[in-house]
Amino acid sequence: MKKNKFVVSKILKFLDKKIILPITKVFVWIFEKIDKKGLGLEKLLSKKSTLILISLILSLVLFFIVDIKSLILLESSADVIYNQKVNAIFNEEAYVIEGLPEYVDITLIGRKSDLYLAKQLPSHEVSIDLKTLKPGTHRVSLRYRGAIDTINYKLDPSVASITIYPKVSEVRTLTVDVLNKDNLDPKLSISNVELDKQEVIIKGAEHVLKEVSSVKALVDINNMTSYEEGINLLNDIPLIAYDQKGFIIDVEMVPSTLSASITIESPNKTVPIKLVPTGELAFGKSIKEMVSDISTVTIYGEKQAIEKIMEVEIEVDVEKISEDKSITAMIRRPNGVRYLSVTSTVVNIKIGEEKTIELNNIPIEYKNLSNNLVVTMASKEDTLIPVIIRGYEDVIDKITATDIKAFVDLAGYKEGTYEVDVLIEGTDLRAIYIPKTKKVNLIIGVKK
């Protein structure tokens, strides 16, 4: 009875709002128009027969409307409630369930009036009681207790094949991954992350735990509330388990989140610049002088990275230059550097006529040779080579044999006899260094 009264109340409110009230407004408007024209509407409405006729017309209209609505509400229909959560009842401390769907769709079949009521009532999750089942594979039926008995409920899926495993636990050491480091002020860097726990307990089926290769604490810079130098605290750090291929593995963790003390520093260092000309000048020309409007630059970055940087190279494009010129050169950040105090510089270049000299008896050095190998030159002539130097006269006259390094790069070479290219480096980059001997023969053997 309560359900029927609720339905009737809803219908009457609908009719009053959508039918009777609009019709009344229309009649009032018509009467006002007629009355203004002096047709004696008031006299007409005061007659008893007129009022009875109007009431009869409205009653007939209302009857037909209610009759149509009743037929519609009594018709059978269907509706679907999607993604209803499945709640499995079992001993979560002792077992792990695999194969049970997380969500199901519920199809409701019945009268439209009942469907309307069912959708207004709070939806209940699908539950299944697995407390009596033991470890192993089982075929179970999913059930849903509907709020209205006159509606037929159908689940999709309605049956699931599940496997119950005993839950085991292991202790794993945590590693830290810092996310969104690029969003940190480039002058700052994270020097240390100290978790409040170094180990975590992972729980799950034994075959799943064997797949866990690492457990990481994901420290997200975007979640920090303070970015000041010093120690900053971050709570609710999520823990994620990964397999060897980097895929996430769903296991239970105790604890599920951690806190960390994050040390923020601003390591910096001021180093000299080194101008490196690139490209070839116009024929017969050489660099007489090359001076930058800055001599040093301050670099910011990871402490270990910037400690290894002794200078910052600035490439200066001198392609086809034949006369004095000022060039704006961009300064590239070396590896490990997050911020530069200066990003560009103006380089003043003076051009002169090119001269050539030759220096003899430059010794050959070896780079990147494996520690267990030794090199022997095939002939004495391959130990010392001549080098041709091209540049402005005043520049090349000051260059000595100690300013030149001739070498061969033996990275990746193994035991055997080889013909290797000779490479040249000079301290004064305004000059061009060319080995007169392009290749040398050498023998690589194993140390005894």
The whole-angstrom separation of Cα 138 and Cα 131 is 13
Query: pLDDT at position 113, please?
Result: 66
Residues 68 and 88 in one domain: no
Residues 34 and 84 in one domain: no
Which secondary-structure segment (H or E) carries 167? none
pLDDT tens column, 305-351: 999 999 999 999 999 999 999 999 999 999 989 999 999 999 999 99
Query: pLDDT at position 294, please?
Result: 95
Query: pLDDT at position 225, please?
Result: 86
Which residues is 339 bridged to in the sheet?
Answer: 300
Q: Which tokens belong to 156? A: 């999709």
pLDDT tens column, 72-123: 444 567 777 788 888 888 888 888 888 888 888 888 777 776 676 666 665 6
- Answer whether 188's CB lies under 8 Å from 266's CB: yes
DSSP-based three-state secondary structure for 181:
helix
**Count of structural domains, the chain:** 5
Which residues is 409 bridged to in the sheet?
Answer: 367
Residues 197 and 276 in one domain: no
pTM greater than 0.75 (yes/no): no
Residues 196 and 235 in one domain: yes
Query: pLDDT at position 72, please?
Result: 47
Residues 70 and 82 in one domain: no
Which of 116, 142, 166 is the last residue in one of the domains? 166
The confidence band for 264, taking pLDDT boundaries of 50, 70 and 90, is: very high
Task: Give mean pLDDT, residues 261-276.
Answer: 94
Which residues is 241 bridged to in the sheet?
Answer: 215, 249
pLDDT-above-70 percentage for the chain: 79
Q: How many helices and strands in the chain, by DSSP H and E?
A: 8, 29
Q: Is 122 exposed, middle or buried (0-12, 13-18, 19+ CB in 10 A)?
A: exposed
- Answer whether 51's CB lies under 8 Å from 42's CB: no
The confidence band for 235, taking pLDDT boundaries of 50, 70 and 90, is: very high
pLDDT tens column, 129-188: 888 888 999 998 887 776 666 677 788 888 888 899 999 999 999 999 999 988 899 999
Query: pLDDT at position 101, please?
Result: 87
Which of 212, 237, 265 is the last residue in one of the domains? 265
Which of 203, 230, 265 is the last residue in one of the domains? 265
Residues 318 and 291 in one domain: yes
438 phi, psi to nearest 5 deg = -80, -35
pLDDT-above-90 percentage for the chain: 56
- In the predicted model, what is the mean pLDDT of the chain? 85
3-state SS, one letter per residue, for 267-279: CEEEEEEEEEEEC
CATH number at residue 199: 2.170.120.40
pLDDT tens column, 272-293: 999 999 999 999 999 999 999 9
The per-residue DSSP string of 309-348 comes to ---EEEEEE-TT--S-EEEEEEPPPPTTEEEES-SEEEEE
Residues 152 and 207 in one domain: no
- Domain containing 96 equals 77-166
DSSP-based three-state secondary structure for 8:
helix
Residues 442 and 365 in one domain: yes
Residues 234 and 179 in one domain: yes
382 phi, psi to nearest 5 deg = -85, -5
Q: Is the pLDDT of residue 443 over 70?
A: yes
CATH number at residue 121: 2.170.120.30
Query: pLDDT at position 17, please?
Result: 66
DSSP-based three-state secondary structure for 45:
helix
Residues 299 and 246 in one domain: no
Residues 68 and 91 in one domain: no
Residues 84 and 20 in one domain: no
